[in-house]
Amino acid sequence: MAKIYTGENIKEGIRILADFMKEAKYTVVLTGAGMDTESNIPDFRSQDGLWRKMDPRLVASIDTFEENYSLFRDFYSERIKRLKDVKPHEGHYVLADFEKRGIIKCIATQNVSDLHRMAGNDKVYELHGNIRKIRCNYCNHKAELEDFLNREKCANCGRDALRPEVVLFGEALPMDEWLWAEEDIRKSDLIIVIGTSLEVAPVNQLPMLTRGKRVLINMEDVDIYYDFDLKLNG
C-alpha cells in the first residue's frame, strides 16, 4: 500500500518521485481534469466539479445530440467560449520541458482542452478528443470553431450537425489514440497519474498496464482497486 504524502510531508514525497524519475527509462504521464484546474477550467468529479452541478447524460451525450441538438450546441458553445482566453499553466510547461529533455516519453490525457499541445508537448494521446476541433457528425467534414459557434450547417452535406471532436457519453474512444497510449504504457517502467479520480472507464484501466511503478498526484485520494507506489495529495 502506497504511503500518502500531503501537507508538510509533501516535499519528502516529491523527492521520492524525483528518484523514481531518475531511475526510470520509460516514463509516461496520464492526466485528467485536475491537471487543467489551475488554468481556470473546472474539473468534473471533485467536490466543486462540473458534473456535481449537472447530469452529463442530459447534455454531453450522443442521445442529446440526436434528440435535442439545440441544447447540445448551446452547452458546448458555452464551454468553447469559456476556453477563449484559457492558457496553459506552469505545470503544462513543465511537462512539455520534460518531454523535450527525454524525461517523459508521452502524455495520455482525458482532457479535451488542447493545453498540453499549446504548452509544447508533441506526443499527446487525446483519449477523449479535442473540443477545439469541429466536424460534421454525419459526413465527418472538418469545420471551424466559428462555424459551430455561429450555428452554421455543414458546408459539405448541409445538415445541422456540427459538433466538437470530443467523445460523448454513448460513444467509443478513438481507437488509434487508445492503442498508441496502451502500447506506450505497456513499455513504461513508471506512470505518473495527474489530476484524475480514475472513475471513468476504460481510461482507469490504463495504469494497470505498466509493469513498473505507479504514482498518483491528485488533490484528493482515490478509491481504486490497484495500488500505487506513491501518492502525492493536495
Cα–Cα distances in angstroms (integers) from residue 85 to residues 95, 108, 188, 205, in the given order: 21, 24, 35, 33
pLDDT in tens, 119-170: 999 999 999 999 999 999 999 999 999 999 999 999 999 999 999 999 999 9
Name residues whose C-beta falls within 8 Å of residue 60's C-beta, 6 or more positions apart in sequence: 75, 166, 168, 169
The set of cell numbers assigned to 193 is 497519474
Category of 170 on φ-ψ map: left (φ > 0), alpha (ψ -120 to 50) or beta = left
Q: Check pLDDT > 90 for residue 58.
A: no
Are residues 216 and 225 in contact, defined by beta-carbon separation less than 8 angstroms?
Answer: no
Q: What is the pLDDT of residue 118?
A: 97
Encoded amino acid at 149, one letter:
L
Among 46-50, 98-102, 217-221, 222-226, which stretch is predicted with the lowest mean pLDDT? 46-50
Q: Which CATH architecture has domain 42-82+129-166?
A: 2-Layer Sandwich (3.30)
What is the residue extent of each domain of the chain?
Answer: 1-41+88-128+173-234, 42-82+129-166
Tell me which of 89, 92, 128, 141 is the catalytic residue. Answer: 128
| pLDDT over threshold 90, residue 231 | yes
- C-alpha 81/C-alpha 102 separation (Å) is 35
Name the DSSP class of 105: -
Nearest Cα to 63, choosing from 169, 174, 177?
Answer: 169
How far is 194 from 35, CA to CA, in rounded Å? 6
* CATH code at 1-41+88-128+173-234: 3.40.50.1220
To the query of whether residue 116 is one of the catalytic residues in this protein, the response is no
- 189-194-195 Cα angle (round to 5): 155
